[in-house]
Chains A and B, each alone.
Chain A
């Protein structure tokens, strides 16, 4: 409810007025909500957190006692807080990938997961894990953490480019054609993941199930920092593409007639989608439907202008993944449910609802 009120308030009368001033209100409100959600999420969990644990860093600074970070304080500062922030960052990255994919294919039902980009990344990661595990051995130890992310990125990039080509060649401009192409790509990548599972040893199998279910359990401060740096690089660039991407909504021909170099724009967007998607998959596995839901909700709140929808859907994506992850680790505590199961359980029905809305709007056909 509050979100729709935000939309009604400062509606810009002209595109020029959609500047930073009017963007600020919904953004600031959501940021405040996110901060509150972050603190609450860190509070919840199997280990009870007291006020003193929150103040542990300040106590440690004063009496330089190593005892300050013990027990619950350690859980809070070394396990829970990085995980909560990581959820926000990964959610934002997935929402960014979703928004860009939808803008690229001019279609609110496009999603990196449905189109096979996420599973493409997971497939490449799985292959690396099982088949090329020995190939990573001669690498310097410092490079090893990067092998999986790079593989996932390459997988996402490959699927993105082939999807772009195949869908435009086979079924130009058709929503159903695009989703069916994604279905075919998903089938192929699922087969490759299956092959990797078949060839895997017991230990590798455990890591593989992590890819296919999705989990944020690997979070730590170093991953948080890496993801933050990546997003800090990607987001300003993505926001600069928002204006030409708005023009792409007119259609490719019309966009080029108003002065957009469409092939170059497509190339950049594919690269950004592959980077954000590949990073999320490399460190968290397959978390589906978030890239579909977050942009959809953002569009309902602040409208379809990408200059506002893009930042807003990233905030919402972070919030959604935080919610899902908090549920995942508290509902069956101390055991943990993979978060990808939650997003799929919520996202699947939501997709069907959106599909129904799209069909009704277009008079019975997609």
Chain B
């Protein structure tokens, strides 16, 4: 791949980023070994500033392409911090993260944004931007984007927020803002394949009906495009119903990497200090009823 002078000129900000991304994508890559993971964490460790002595990790995790993983654990276990580590938002002090065979630092922001989206827990947006613009910002890394209008509309519809298109973001309720932000990450990965979606408690501020609808939308969105999904969740039943692996976190350590079947019950009981009784769930999957642990 040759670089000509035109590519070195300071052009449009996002445009330059994309050029860089293409150049990096075109450069000869060591071919990924067959069956290699989409995202790997090797001995990743992070000491938390402010909490004396508290550190999370070391984590040794491998996420396969298209896999759906739920992160569970009590409050303060480091779920969000693990997600931030995986998003590259918090650089680890030790260890290495690789996305699609390349270290996170080896990706340009724009190239990474075309394969991986992150939905943070807080939805604060400065100024009063229109909803359609907020959703469209998911695709800001694309220089030329003729499909922007249609993708924005479809993403909003998929997130059950089609009726909010003409509103301003700061006038929305918490649940509506969550839906618009979900539409934003949908728009970001709309035409990508085998990408990665990281979400932090996406259903926290929604009513039960919407929780089901949005969880289904998120699962369907990822399945049709082969995206892997990693979600921090609070609801055990949501994790059991829609995910293939459960990562159990306690005090910054990984306590278990389990499939969502009966074998997960005992570790989950220990994790939260509760008793779980299994009840028949939808289409043969496991569901549980939480009860107080009897001393």
- Encode contact with B along A7-46: 1 for CB under 8 Å, 0 otherwise: 0000111111110000000000000000000000000000
Q: Count how many chain B residues have C-beta atoms less than 8 Å from C-beta atoms of the other chain.
A: 46
* Contacting residues, chain B, for A254 (C-beta < 8 A): 118, 120
Whether the Cβ atoms of B149 and A14 lie closer than 8 Å is yes
A249 interface residue, CB < 8 Å from B? yes
Whether the Cβ atoms of B89 and A253 lie closer than 8 Å is yes
Q: CB < 8 Å: which of B13, B122, B128 contacts A244?
A: B13
Q: Closest approach, in angstroms, between the C-beta of B8 and any C-beta of chain A?
A: 15
Q: CB < 8 Å: which of B113, B125, B129, B165 contacts A257?
A: B113
B138 interface residue, CB < 8 Å from A? yes
Question: Dominant SS at the B interface?
Answer: helix
Of A277-285, A299-307, A347-355, which stretch is located at the interface?
A: A299-307
A330 interface residue, CB < 8 Å from B? no
A260 to B114, CA, bound (A): 11
B45 interface residue, CB < 8 Å from A? no
Q: CB < 8 Å: which of B109, B122, B129 contacts A259?
A: B109
Q: CB < 8 Å: which of A15, A241, A246, A260 contacts B141?
A: A260
B12 interface residue, CB < 8 Å from A? yes
Whether the Cβ atoms of B17 and A250 lie closer than 8 Å is no
Chain A, 303-355, CB within 8 A of any chain B CB: 303-305
Q: Closest approach, in angstroms, between the C-beta of A232 and any C-beta of chain B?
A: 16
* Contacting residues, chain B, for A16 (C-beta < 8 A): 136, 145, 148-149, 152
Q: Closest approach, in angstroms, between the C-beta of B47 and any C-beta of chain A?
A: 19
A304 to B137, CA, bound (A): 14
* Contacting residues, chain A, for B122 (C-beta < 8 A): 251
A40 to B198, CA, bound (A): 58
* Contacting residues, chain B, for A253 (C-beta < 8 A): 84, 87, 89, 118, 120
Whether the Cβ atoms of B113 and A250 lie closer than 8 Å is no
* Contacting residues, chain A, for B110 (C-beta < 8 A): 259, 261
Whether the Cβ atoms of A265 and B13 lie closer than 8 Å is yes
B38 interface residue, CB < 8 Å from A? no
Q: Count how many chain A residues have C-beta atoms less than 8 Å from C-beta atoms of the other chain.
A: 37
Whether the Cβ atoms of A243 and B148 lie closer than 8 Å is no
Whether the Cβ atoms of A250 and B109 lie closer than 8 Å is no
B126 interface residue, CB < 8 Å from A? yes
Whether the Cβ atoms of A107 and B126 lie closer than 8 Å is yes
- Encode contact with B along A97-136: 1 for CB under 8 Å, 0 otherwise: 0000000001110000000000000000000000000000
Q: Closest approach, in angstroms, between the C-beta of A239 and any C-beta of chain B?
A: 10
Whether the Cβ atoms of B133 and A15 lie closer than 8 Å is yes
* Contacting residues, chain B, for A251 (C-beta < 8 A): 120, 122, 124-126
Whether the Cβ atoms of A250 and B134 lie closer than 8 Å is yes
Whether the Cβ atoms of A259 and B112 lie closer than 8 Å is yes
Whether the Cβ atoms of A258 and B137 lie closer than 8 Å is yes
A18 to B148, CA, bound (A): 12
B77 interface residue, CB < 8 Å from A? no
A62 interface residue, CB < 8 Å from B? no
Check A14/B117 contact, CB under 8 A, given A247-B140, A249-B129, A258-B141: no
In the complex, residue of chain A having the shortest beta-carbon distance to the beta carbon of B134? A250
- Encode contact with B along A76-96: 1 for CB under 8 Å, 0 otherwise: 000000000000000000000
- Encode contact with A along B86-124: 1 for CB under 8 Å, 0 otherwise: 010100000000000000000011111110111010101
Whether the Cβ atoms of B113 and A259 lie closer than 8 Å is yes
Whether the Cβ atoms of B141 and A305 lie closer than 8 Å is no
In the complex, residue of chain B having the shortest beta-carbon distance to the beta carbon of A304? B127
A256 interface residue, CB < 8 Å from B? yes
* Contacting residues, chain B, for A247 (C-beta < 8 A): 137, 140
B287 interface residue, CB < 8 Å from A? no
Q: Closest approach, in angstroms, between the C-beta of B135 and any C-beta of chain A?
A: 8
Q: Closest approach, in angstroms, between the C-beta of B46 and any C-beta of chain A?
A: 15
Q: Closest approach, in angstroms, between the C-beta of B118 and any C-beta of chain A?
A: 4
* Contacting residues, chain B, for A17 (C-beta < 8 A): 149
Whether the Cβ atoms of A106 and B126 lie closer than 8 Å is yes
* Contacting residues, chain B, for A18 (C-beta < 8 A): 133
B188 interface residue, CB < 8 Å from A? yes
A249 to B184, CA, bound (A): 14
A107 to B124, CA, bound (A): 12
- Encode contact with B along A258-290: 1 for CB under 8 Å, 0 otherwise: 111110010010000000000000000000000
In the complex, residue of chain B having the shortest beta-carbon distance to the beta carbon of A306? B127
B153 interface residue, CB < 8 Å from A? yes
B65 interface residue, CB < 8 Å from A? no
* Contacting residues, chain B, for A240 (C-beta < 8 A): 12-13
19 A-B residue pairs with CB within 8 Å: A12-B132, A14-B153, A15-B130, A15-B132, A15-B136, A15-B148, A16-B149, A106-B127, A108-B126, A108-B127, A243-B14, A247-B137, A249-B126, A251-B124, A259-B17, A259-B113, A260-B14, A260-B109, A303-B130
Q: Please give 7 more A-B residue pairs, beta carbons under 8 A apart, in addition to A15-B149, A253-B84, A253-B118.
A: A14-B132, A246-B129, A253-B89, A257-B89, A258-B139, A303-B130, A305-B133
- List of 3 A-B pairs having minimum Cβ-Cβ separation, nearest first: A259-B141, A259-B113, A15-B136
